[in-house]
Amino acid sequence: MQKYRYVREALQRELPSTLATFYESPLVSEKDLTLVHCEGYVSRFLGGQLTRDELRRIGFPWSPQHVNRALSSTGGTVAAAHAVCRADATAIFAGHIAGGTHHAFADRGEGYCVFNDIAVAAAVALRDHAARVQRVLVVDCDVHQGNGTASIFAGDERVFTASFHCEANLFSAREVSDLDVDLPPGVGDEAYLEALQAHLPGLFERVRPQLCFFQAGVDVHESDRIGKLKLSSAGIKKRNALVYAAAARHGARLVVTMGGGYPKDLDESSVHFHRVVQSHMDCYRQCASAHARLSREAPEA
């Protein structure tokens, strides 16, 4: 859990105000949550009424602090979507230094995910910014399949879900995304990037999204404890660059979320901890740099 604080504080020290402005994540409203989540599930979680088995599937004990964390983890992604979609938006890309909770289903949470922040934010954008957003693309590059997101948007033609994941990493039953790219255990930089390059340009051409969500999990890293893939830090940076370049090329607004990353060694001074934290930071460093380039290239209004 401490990685969230490390990543945020380091980025705030490192990134100048000309590249990034930081805001505290707001708490998502129940109204927004119930765009994709069942009212009964939302009410029971907020009131501390989930069963022992339901909490076991989520992986966290219930507490008022955990409620606020879950609401903030979703609210930050919603706020980032508003930042790039509203009519007076000056931001093209935005990031949330949390989120990526893609194992939350409409009626339950799983895999350390209570609410599905990307699904909620996509639904909010389609509702509140309908004049600007009619098609949404989710590019999920976490090592685990984005099963909750796939389930929530099954049959919804406005949202296209694409998941690039290790075929041996499933939290629970597999769902069907609009595009699933299964990668075998042990895949490294070359094969992973080839797979991404084979699909990414066609995805943007086919979907023509006005808004893209990038689930930028770094549990594909070779230093990850449970990921089963073998990407290097340099390989993950190339992955990020491909997504940002594709979104820029097709004029899509973009929101990046954190996703997974579980160091083999939880000692904060260890090389594995350092590599995972730095890879998380790279996702946001590159997002800020890509946004700065796009802003410079944008024609005068």
Q: What is the mean pLDDT of each run of 10 residues along the chain (301 residues)?
A: 90 94 97 98 98 95 96 98 96 97 97 97 98 98 97 97 91 88 97 98 97 98 94 98 98 97 86 94 97 80 37
Name the residue among 281, 279, 260, 276 with its Cα closest to residue 100: 260
CATH number for the region 2-297 comes to: 3.40.800.20
Question: Quick one: pLDDT at residue 268?
Answer: 83
In the numeric block, the tokens 């955990």 are attached to: 66
Question: Quick one: pLDDT at residue 299?
Answer: 57
DSSP annotation of 28 reads P
Question: Quick one: pLDDT at residue 171?
Answer: 67
Question: Quick one: pLDDT at residue 173?
Answer: 77
Tell me the domain boundaries of the chain.
2-297
Q: Which backbone phi and psi does 80 adopt, to 5 degrees?
A: -65, -40
Report the Cα 32 to chain-centroid distance in Å: 18
Q: Which backbone phi and psi does 180 adopt, to 5 degrees?
A: -115, 125
